[in-house]
Structure 1
Amino acid sequence: MSKPVVIFLNTRRTHLEHGAAIEAAHRQGHGVALIADSVPAGLPERIVRTVHKVDTFDLAAVDAAVDAIAAEHTVAGVVTWSDRDVETVSRIAARLGLPAPSVAAARAARNKFLMRQALVDHPEAIPRFARVTEWAELTKAVADIGYPAVLKPTSGSGSKGIFVLRGEDDLRAAFDELVRYTRPEVDKAFTGNPGELIVEEFLVGTEHSVEGFVTGGRLHIAGVTDKETSEPFRLEVAHVFPSSLPESTLAEVRRLTEVVIGALGLDDCTFHLECMVSPAGTAKLVEVAARVGGDFITSHLVGLATGVPFAENVIRVATGREPVLPAGDGLYSGVRKIMADRDGVLAGVDGLAEALGVPGVRHAIVERAAGAKVALPPADYMSGTIGAVLAVGDSAEAVRATLLRAVDAVTVRVTPAEG
């Protein structure tokens, strides 16, 4: 009898990331049934048993694909690797009787306004906030919240569309740009809530994420990641795992995590919680997602540092089992992105061999092909990321130094776009 399958609803965008997930399913004794908008080349046919290419925003098409898979295979679990499919995973799991958060909890984890509404009884855990869909609502909300403030989509992800408002002069341009951007014809992630924004108090401090799982109401934290972002659009440019925060502050982060997971009712899932730690050591929620962290954090960094691949625990939890958490001291790992510094067309990337030659570097990856259009925020929030370097070391400082040296060895050549 063939092995049971885990349904993957779409994949991460790089072969390094989705390969780690597919291999994790195999090591846990499962095949993979893929439902996806686009199918990566070179999938291992012995592991990926069936592929259904459909528009995954079309719920009827997804349901038909699930029915076809269930008719031919024993389905042990269902997972996704990005925000956009979190609610759909909960729908599928409810139909098949598989572990996953409730649809209501998944919806709250997808919408930053609903997320904060769930935490109104815990004002210490969240910034002051307001939902915004019209210009008059924005001006009123900012008058109440004050400057500086942050304006962003309620259902965005990957640092897309984050505007820091320093004063009244920033309002109109930020609002108009986000109204333009948060439309389904621009990005299908905004299907169902076009133009829905949230404005909130600007939090001061350092940014971090918590990687973990919830099973049967029990919280399991695999670790905390330190984050580096760019200004003014708060793009995530580097991560180091585990965190270098002092133990007293890590305890505050863990307490925040318990409050957030409990308030949203998340269960039977992987989660990635982002928070801001103030100079005083208090932690407040930025957002929480009912799926893995991106940027190679959970595909590679956790496993490189701890020796326990995070993706294998994702499969364990999705199939109704407890995660296996690391014990004892580990190493440190990190990622730094290779970024373009101008708009245009990607002509090439030089210096990868030199980057790979830096001691401690484990991977150097290019995500965009020569000839691809490159545009920087606010025109585009993704195409300026050209690749990334991953490294391991015996301290956070060593990892950061390795990553800087490796990325400095790389040259991104961007030529002006014609016309």
Structure 2
Amino acid sequence: MSRSTRPLLITVAGTDPVYRGYCLESVVAGYDVALIDSKPPTWQQHLVVDHEVADTRDSEAVVAAGLALAERHAIAGVVTWDEYSLAPTAALAARLGLPGNTVASMNAARNKAASRARFAEHDVPSAMSTCVDTLAHATAVAHRTGFPVVLKPASHAASIGVVRVNRPDELPAAWVFASAGAGGQGAEGYGVLVEEYLSGPEISVECATVGGITTPLAVTRKEVGFAPYFEETGHTVTADDPLLAEVGPVAVQAVRALGISDGVQHVEMRLTSTGPRIIEVNSRIGGDLIGKLVRLATGLDLPRIAADIACGNVPSLTPTKTRTAAVKILYAPATGTLTTRHLPVKAGVQPPWLRQVSWLHDAGDHVALPPIGDASTARVGFFIVTADSPARAHSRVADLTGRLTLTVVQPHTT
């Protein structure tokens, strides 16, 4: 048994040190943590008090691992910030009699076809969507929907297999890309969706839900590139963003329609000519350091909020800061071998507004852009800045980006 007097929280998966390390570091400030992951802890060994190894996408395995931990500790709550572990985490919370969402609500959030059906039932503005299983079916649906359309796997994340199709002649190649991406997407959904393309700026609303009551906390304004693919290249969060008053109620509608009762949500939408329309609801903290941006801009600590809710404690939802935070994600300029990556900022003397510089690839690494590669092969690094206004933050991002050197040697072709 743990000798600590602090409550113990089980975290399921989400152990990437680059994108999720800050989540674990935030949570351990208030809770002891036991980890369930597909491999034993490494970099996080000093942050956890216990662990179990299990397939974090398998509900039975996660429940068994959680029961093993419960034999050794008094468990206060269960949380995940991993998209693919949402349903198993819900199953474990239910088995332990702890606060959490139902498995049905997590399946509805994970399966985009099921989400669209619930949105339609509850009059949540969204997109026309049809699940297809062949190119012929996709072609017929695309013509019925009207071009452009979007093809996407039903229950993946991180824009895997997502592609815009502008014309009928683009459908065969898009079908191959989306179908390949649909592999390994998780048990909650299957196949490929053909959806109406939503035109307009892309944003997300970061929310917290306690006992079925959802509070919109912040707006993330997104940059998306590499058309016809949907790679996210940057995010900006500003405290007191006036857009929150317009899009927050739509996010609340979407969360309610899915039956989500607890936790932190990352609600993606597009600002179309007919108003905000939902892309999807992720029932966990947004990726790409968005939770860190929210904390830098508003003072709201999303990982700690998620932990508090999971343990049945009242979270603090009152902002304590008013500024802007932005992350710029640095992509390779081409597919090939990375030979140079340099940002002229000296360690130890960087300006206080430059909050983080991280590299994901070193010189000599192979890098690949879509459709050959994905985010893991295309991204070279990122940096985070803060400022007293969005304009100043964007100016700082532009200045640093202009001084960045990224060089790739492309393979010879004959």
What SS does structure 1 have at the residue aligned with 2:127?
A: coil
- Contact residue 202 and residue 269 of structure 2 kept, 8 A: yes
How does the TM-score come out when normalised to structure 2?
0.91
1:163/1:6 Cα in 2 relative to 1: closer, same or farther (>3 Å)? same
**Counterpart residue identity of residue 135, structure 2:** W
What is the TM-score of this pair, normalised by structure 1?
0.90
**C-alpha distance in 2, partners of 1:316/1:370?**
42
In the other structure, the counterpart of 1:235 is 231
2:207 corresponding residue in structure 1:
212
Instruction: Report if the CA contact (8 A) 1:183-1:191 is conserved.
Output: no
Of 383-392 and 133-142, the range deviating more from structure 2: 133-142
Which residue identity is paired with 2:67? D
1:346 and 1:39 map into 2 onto residues whose CA distance is 31
Identity of aligned residues (%): 30
Q: Distance in 1 between matches of 2:240 and 2:231?
A: 21
Gaps in structure 2 of 5+ consecutive residues: none
Question: Is 2:336 the partner of 1:341?
Answer: no
**Alpha-carbon displacement from aligned partner over 1:157-196 (angstroms, at most 9, x marks no partner):** 1122221111101111101222223223xxxx345655x1
- What is the one-letter code of the residue matched to 1:35? I
Per-residue CA distance 1:234-292 (angstroms, 9 max, x = gap): 211111102786x4x53331221121111111011111000001245x10000001111
Q: What is the aligned counterpart of 2:282 among 274, 286, 289? A: 289
Q: Which residue of 1 aligns with 2:399?
A: 405
Are residues 124 and 264 of structure 1, via their aligned partners in 2, closer, same or farther at CA, if it must alter by over 3 Å? closer
Q: CA 1:274–1:203 in 2, change beyond 3 Å: closer, same or farther?
A: same
3-state SS of 1:225 partner: strand
Alignment of 1:327-338 (within 5 A): 327=319, 330-338=322-330
User: How far is the alpha carbon of 1:418 from its aligned partner?
Assistant: 9.3
Q: Is 1:78–1:92's contact at 8 Å kept on the other side of the alignment?
A: yes
Partner of 1:274: 268
Kept after mapping to 1: 8 A contact 2:328/2:383: yes
> How far off its partner does 1:58 sit?
4.1
Which amino acid in structure 1 is aligned with residue 289 of structure 2?
A: F
Distance 1:90 1:55 in 2: 15
Structure 2 Cα separation of the partners of residues 11 and 144 of structure 1: 39
Residue 144 of structure 1 deviates from its aligned partner by 1.4
Indicate the residue corresponding to 1:114 in structure 2.
114
Once residues 302 and 324 of structure 1 are traced to their aligned partners in structure 2, the CA distance between those partners, rounded to angstroms, is 14
- Report if aligned partners of 1:138, 1:199 keep a CA contact under 8 Å in 2: yes
- Within 2, Cα distance between the matches of 1:116 and 1:325? 29
How many angstroms apart in 1 are the aligned matches of 2:276 and 2:58?
38
| 1:10/1:34 contact within 8 Å kept | yes
Residues 156-171 of structure 1 correspond to what in structure 2 (within 5 A)? 156-171=156-171
For residues 305-350 of structure 1, the C-alpha deviation after alignment (integer angstroms, 9 at most, x for no partner) is 1123222111111111232123476111110101112112334522
Q: Given that residues 354 and 409 in structure 1 are in contact (C-alpha distance below 8 angstroms), is that contact kept between their aligned partners in structure 2?
A: no
Q: Residues 19-418 of structure 1: matches in 2 within 5 Å?
A: 19-28=21-30, 30-39=31-40, 41-45=42-46, 47-123=47-123, 125-184=125-184, 189-191=185-187, 193-194=189-190, 196-230=191-225, 231-242=227-238, 247=242, 249-279=243-273, 282-298=275-291, 300-327=292-319, 330-351=322-343, 353=345, 357=350, 360-382=353-375, 383-416=377-410
Q: Contact between 1:352 and 1:410, CA under 8 Å: does it hold in 2?
A: yes
- Shift of the 314–193 alpha-carbon distance from structure 1 to 2, 3 Å rule, reads closer
Letter in 1 for 2:290: I
Could you tell me whether the CA contact under 8 Å between 1:361 and 1:403 is conserved in 2?
no
SS in 2 for 1:119: helix
Structure 2 CA distance for partners of 1:293 and 1:70, relative to 1, 3 Å: same
Runs of at least 5 residues in structure 1 that lack an aligned partner in the other structure: none
Letter in 1 for 2:271: V
Q: Does 1:6 align with 2:9?
A: yes
Count of aligned positions: 407
- Counterpart secondary structure, 1:13: coil
4+ runs deviating over 6 angstroms: none
